[in-house]
Chain A
Amino acid sequence: MALQRKSVIVSYAASPSFLSSPTWDQLKQTLLSQLPLRNIHWKTPSRTSIRTIQELDISLVPLDTIRDELASQVPATLLEKPLLNLYFVTCENTDLELYRTTIKRQIKEWHATVSNRKNQEWIILHVIRPDAKIPSGAFFQLKGSVLDKLKADFNTDKRDRCVQLIWSTNPSMWGEFITKLKDGILSAFDSAVTQREDEVRRSESQRQMPGWNFCTFFILKESLASSFEGVNLCDEALLQYDELEASFYQALKEKNLSWFGVLISPAPKDDSNPLLSLSKKPYRDMILANTITVFDFRIYLLTRQCQLLAQSGRITEVCKKTGAFLGAFGRRLREVEKDLPRFFLQSWIYSSALSVVEQCDSWASNLSEAQLAVFNAGKGELVELARSQLDLIGMHIGFLPQSPPFSSVWVPILSSSEPSTTKISNTQILTALDSEDAFYSLYTHTTTRAIDLYANAGRRKFALKLHGSLAALELHRGHFDAALTTYNSLPAHYAPHMWTSLECSMLQRALETHSALGKPRNREWIHILLSFLAVYAQSSGADMLVKEEIKAAYISRLVDALKSSASELDSGKPGCSLLLSFFQTLVDLPHPDHPAISVQVSPTATLARIKDGSYLEATIHNRLPCALPIEEISVILSGKDADRQRFSVTANSLNPGASKVTLFCPTSNAGTYLLESSEIRMSRLLFNWIYRKPSTNKVPRLTKSSNMLVRIPRDLLAFDVQLRQPPRVEFGQSPTIIVAVSTGRNEVSKAVIRLSAPSVIFDCQDVSLFENDSTEAEFTLEHIILHNLSRSKTVELLVPHSDVSGFNALTISIEVDYVTADESSITRTLKVPRVISTSLPISVNVEDFFRGKQLFSKFTVSTLSHQHVRIASVLLEPPDLDTSGLKVVTSSPRKRNIMSHRYNQHIFCFRSDQTDQARFALAVWYNLSDFIPVRDPLTLDVKYRMLREEVESVIDRAIDEVLADLPEWHMHKTALHAKFIEMLESDASWVEIYTISGELNVPGKIEISEELRDPVEKVKEILRAHQHPESPHGPWHEIRIPVDVPSMTIVAAARIELRTKSPHLYAGQPISAVLSIHTTFHWGPNLNDKERQYTMQYDVEEMVKEWLVSGKKRGNFSAMDDTIFSVPITLVALHHGEFALPRVVVTALPLTDEMTMGSMAIPSTETCQVHGAEKVLILPRGGRSTFVLDMGST
């Protein structure tokens, strides 16, 4: 059946003379130019809403060409007959005469034929010319116009069917006519549809009656559909077909298909013809003849539906509908498959699906982006459907294996036993059947096409699935490399959303492919296997799609293979160079964070007790169903300052489920550690887990439980290295520290010590053994090596290092590799950071007083810390008595007591002398002639100790005392000591009593273990009885500070001497006095220069309340070495009392002959007031007396 003309028929008629005139042609042309009609709104009571016909074409035909034939009984479309009849009237509007005589009769005739026709409308169009002049008389004419006449004569009902057209070039003149035209067509159409619908309804109601025929009904109803289609109401038309389809299904359900022929009688080209083509068979005739097969009928129905869908722009639904149809009807056809030629069904679905895709492509236009995606998806589905037919065919002819993924579409194809004469006709499939290569290329081509379509549609997951099947094909064909590549890339797509079943299957196939490829089990293989196991463990094997009992065996076989390949891994082919294999041993295969195994450690480590080291309990979960062969389990803990502790244990296998292991670390560093990582080694394969998350973790939720702390208790008997300050600190010499190596319980055969600290250099070569020990030691540039240390031995090493005065404290990381005699195979590494304070607890200040040839220096020693410091002695030592000519007399050689925040002052008297023994500090004069200036510094030596050290030594002695009697407690010595320190730390109440009396009352609030209780009590007793000894025991620290002898250019001694005979002095009495200034250059650079002179100035200070000073109280003088300048002055006491004499200030004037730095140099001067301690008693004056004062001369 040909596509119907999309137009309604409108007949026209007019007087024959008009029709033959050129005016008619003109008129017809302009009328046609107004067409098609647009926006026709069809409102009908049988529909709920207004249907809008967007566009409707009209074919104008002369009335006489239409024959009212009733030849066919077949209900045809309603549009076969004209819906409207037109009559054109051309005469002047005023020409009533003409109208009455001829025109009216003609119209009457036409009207009679037309108005009787069913479901047809008519319109009389009166065409007039605009230029026709209206006669003047017309104004008064009462007879009206021709139009009025027409209306009066023919408008029988309310409807106005007469229109006047004033013919001009203006297109708007058609307006009224077009409206009338639409109305007319609609009304005719409406009544026709109503009538037809009534017929359909009547026919449907007779369904159960005998004699009713579905095919007849179908044709009747279809005529309605084609009518709707004819007026471009595609949706309405589709509705009719949908109802027909439903009614077909109804018939199907009632199993009443007697109106049809057989289900299918395959025609030669049925399997390869395009599905959506109506021209391939005379479908309608077959329906009318009741001979159509269900197969053809369904195809016809589908095709019509699809055509209508395509017309209404719902192209995407076409794909979906055909896809579902092919699937569903394909199933139905399978019932009769054995009667069909071999592969007919597959060929039919294949060709149909592909032909629909082509058909859709030809229909599709102007699709939006979203639509295009859906369209592509629909086409993809169709192509995939075609592809799955190839799967079926391939499996049956043996080109494809009957296993997943191909077998997911598996159905047995039944074909007739006797070789059928008919064959399928699809050439593509026929060629594919013949040759394997053609089949594979067709398969690949179709699949790729589907993948492309899916990719365009954005259906990634569909595409992935098809990629998987392509890989399966490659695998089957033996193209292992290609298959492996695909299989390796696919799991990653399934992993993120945990489609473990699919991921698992992909990985499994990758493994199979790998082994099929005969490749060595290399790293790649191990990686695939590991990720397979990871997926397995994560899903606990639930979705492996493998039977439970096979599973464990399968996994354990894989694990065994893993083990063997891991040990063979890169072990090198024969002939590998030594260098290469060396590098390969370094390259382990680490595999981070494998989920099949997890390691949990206990929060506390336990000490080994009998040897150095500690044990750590760990629980290992193995989520695989079989035991895992491993070699070593290790856990790394990290402490502060890059301190790492590695706990490990060797193990043979790891059983499924949780197993507890005890890990050992040979060194024991006490402290709290963070669980950093754990490792499980399977020969070259290294599973590792990092627990410490980077600090900049974006997900705070994860950090909350991720950091796990492990506490390692302190092992008091372990090998240890401590740092302390040397007992003797000498300023000006290279500083040193003492490294104390204690062996504890170990007999150490060798220990290698390395020290390092940022910006400090240790001079390991110049290390010396402190307290001349007999230990075998080697000192190299970088480390210190000790040999054969016995148990419980402490070796102290004095290590010089570079200047650290910039720091208060120094952090030194110490690394000791030591080997014990008991376990000579284990090299234990102790790596500890130790902090040593480089600042001293005391400070020393000095103050100098020059007195002629003597110098008094006051040294002030003060504590810098909060702790008490006990000073044993302070000594000032001249560098060399023979050459210096300097004699030091200490004011107090005795020790001073403990002090805290207090100053302790020591005054020394220097005597610069070489011959005489000084006996007095202040009253000795010296021979100056051959004094040599002292340049070498003296040394101040301070012996002190901190209170803590003192108390510790007291405790140690007490412990020693106790242990001397009870040797069985010897092993507790260190523990006892630590316990006492702990007890003293807990409370400070003992300090005051100890400071005063020396009794040490140890507070006892600390819990003591059973074995330590007795010794502690004994030691406590001794401590309680302790007294400060007369001469303190124990070690002392010593600071040696170099002290330079100070220099002073001029040392002056000023003296005011009263010259009065009278023993009594009265207020107001003038007293004559002599001011004498003695100068000496003994402490200056001009020691023996007798000629040297300095200009000096003296000034007697005013004491305005006590003294009136007269005379030359201020003046200059020239000072020479060891000379005295004298000047007389007179003093008058202003009131009675006892008071000191005025002070004299002596200063040196700037040197005239020496310039220093562009300014005048002032020589350094120190003046002492010889009379500073003298006081004068002034008596009050009684009576009156007269004095005659000598005004004197200045």
Chain B
Amino acid sequence: MPPGLRINAVAFISAQNHPIIVRTFSAQDETAIKYHYIAHTSLDVIEERVNAAGGKSTDCYLGLLYAMEDVAVYGYITPLKVKIVLALALSDSVVRDVEINMIFKALHMAYYSSISNPFLTHSDTSDSSQDGSRTLTVGSTKWKNFRRRIDEITRVVGSPSTTSVG
């Protein structure tokens, strides 16, 4: 029983609930849609959590959103309302919130450093006429670097040696 956490998918969702990126790490191509569903449905739970806190909560980490089938879904909302959804492979062991929170913090930083590239937003001119706010298309090629960072975080989390750090 490997004690390391296995990340199945990471999803970034914008403040307007548009998907920014849905990155899946499962082998099967077919099941990718499942994680899109998970990202989408998580929005409901995130909304519930945020409303329950009454907007006063300053904590970004939302904890376990729900466990479904073989994944446990965790949520995180940045101060600018970008939601990060993490789908972990469900395992019969204790998952500490601190660890998850750390993963989220790392993902948040990855997003932050990618978004702060000023050229990222202006390169996509063909779509800007439709909606000025929508600058980040899903899976845009400009996000290569961002994807690489996410992949790296996943890899680090997945390797058992580092889990003890959390």
Which residues of A are in contact with B by a Cβ distance under 8 Å? Answer: 246, 249, 252-253, 320, 323-324, 327-329, 331-332, 370, 373-374, 377, 381, 384-385, 388, 403-405, 407-411, 457-462, 464-465, 494, 497-502, 505, 538-540, 542-543, 545, 547, 595, 598, 621, 701, 705
Contact = CB atoms under 8 A, between A and B. Distances in A.
B126 A621 contact: yes
A328 B126 contact: no
A253 B134 CA distance: 47
Most chain B beta carbons < 10 A, residue from A320, A458, A540: A540
Contacts of A500: 19, 138
A539 B139 contact: yes
Contacts of A539: 137-139
B91 A545 contact: no
Contacts of A464: 40
Contacts of A384: 68
Interface string B28-72: 011111101100110111001000100000000000101111101
Ranked nearest first, the 5 interchain pairs of A and B with the lowest CB-CB distance are A542-B139, A408-B34, A332-B92, A459-B44, A328-B92
Given A374-B48, A542-B138, A494 B40 contact: yes
B140 interface: yes
B136 to A, nearest CB: 10
Given A377-B44, A545-B33, 9 more contacts: A328-B67, A328-B92, A329-B92, A381-B67, A497-B17, A502-B36, A539-B137, A542-B139, A595-B130
Most chain B beta carbons < 10 A, residue from A327, A459, A464: A327
A458 B129 contact: no
Contacts of B18: 497-499
Given A405-B34, A461-B41, A701-B132, A501 B19 contact: yes
A408 B69 contact: yes
12 contacts: A253-B93, A327-B70, A331-B70, A374-B52, A405-B33, A407-B31, A462-B41, A498-B19, A505-B36, A545-B32, A545-B33, A595-B130
A596 B69 CA distance: 37
B41 A459 contact: yes
B98 to A, nearest CB: 14
B126 to A, nearest CB: 7
B68 A388 contact: yes
A500 B36 CA distance: 10
Contacts of B94: 246, 249
A510 to B, nearest CB: 15
B48 A501 contact: no
Given A459-B41, A502-B37, A381 B134 contact: no
B28 to A, nearest CB: 8
Contacts of A460: 44
B137 A542 contact: yes
A324 to B, nearest CB: 5
A408 B67 contact: no
A113 B22 CA distance: 73
A404 B68 contact: no
A407 B48 contact: no
Contacts of B37: 405, 408, 465, 502
Contacts of B137: 539-540, 542
Given A502-B33, A545-B33, A465 B90 contact: no
B16 interface: yes
A405 B17 CA distance: 23
Nearest to B17: A497
A505 B29 contact: no
Contact of A370 (B34, B52, B90): B52
A385 B140 contact: no
Contacts of A465: 37, 40-41
Contact of B69 (A246, A249, A385, A403): A385
A494 B44 CA distance: 13
Contact of A373 (B31, B32, B36, B48): B48
Contact of B68 (A385, A494, A497, A540): A385
Interface in B123-146: 126-127, 129-130, 132, 134, 137-140
Interface of B: 3, 16-19, 22, 29-34, 36-37, 40-41, 43-45, 48, 52, 64, 66-70, 72, 90-94, 126-127, 129-130, 132, 134, 137-140
A457 B48 CA distance: 9
B33 to A, nearest CB: 5
A1116 B17 CA distance: 107
Contacts of B92: 252, 328-329, 331-332
Main DSSP-derived SS at the A contact region:
helix
Nearest to A540: B137
Contacts of A328: 67, 90-93
Contacts of B140: 540, 542
A403 B90 CA distance: 22
Contacts of A320: 64, 66
Contacts of B40: 461, 464-465, 494, 499, 502
Contact of A501 (B22, B30, B45, B130): B22
A502 B134 CA distance: 18
A145 to B, nearest CB: 60
A249 B93 CA distance: 7
B36 A501 contact: yes
A505 B45 CA distance: 23
A538 B134 CA distance: 12
A649 to B, nearest CB: 23
Contacts of A494: 40
B112 to A, nearest CB: 22
B68 A498 contact: no
Nearest to A255: B1
A498 B29 CA distance: 21
A1113 B44 CA distance: 115
Contacts of A374: 48, 52
A417 B81 CA distance: 53
Contacts of A498: 18-19, 134, 138
B64 A408 contact: no
A547 B129 CA distance: 29
Contact of A377 (B36, B45, B132): B45
A327 B93 CA distance: 11
A501 B67 contact: no
B164 to A, nearest CB: 12
B69 A388 contact: yes
A305 to B, nearest CB: 14
Nearest to A595: B130
A16 B58 CA distance: 67
A623 to B, nearest CB: 8
Contacts of B36: 499, 501-502, 505, 543, 545
Contacts of A547: 29
Nearest to A459: B44
A762 B48 CA distance: 72
A974 B19 CA distance: 63
A1037 B64 CA distance: 94
Nearest to B32: A545
B19 A327 contact: no
Contacts of A502: 33, 36-37, 40
B37 to A, nearest CB: 5
A705 B139 contact: no
A670 B155 CA distance: 66
Contacts of A246: 94
Nearest to A402: B30
Contact of A543 (B44, B64, B72, B139): B139
Contacts of B29: 545, 547
A942 to B, nearest CB: 61
A407 B30 contact: yes
A552 B38 CA distance: 28
B9 to A, nearest CB: 12
Most chain B beta carbons < 10 A, residue from A332, A381, A499: A499
Nearest to A498: B18
Contact of B30 (A370, A403, A458, A621): A403
A539 B41 CA distance: 20
Given A500-B138, A540-B137, A543-B22, A461 B43 contact: yes
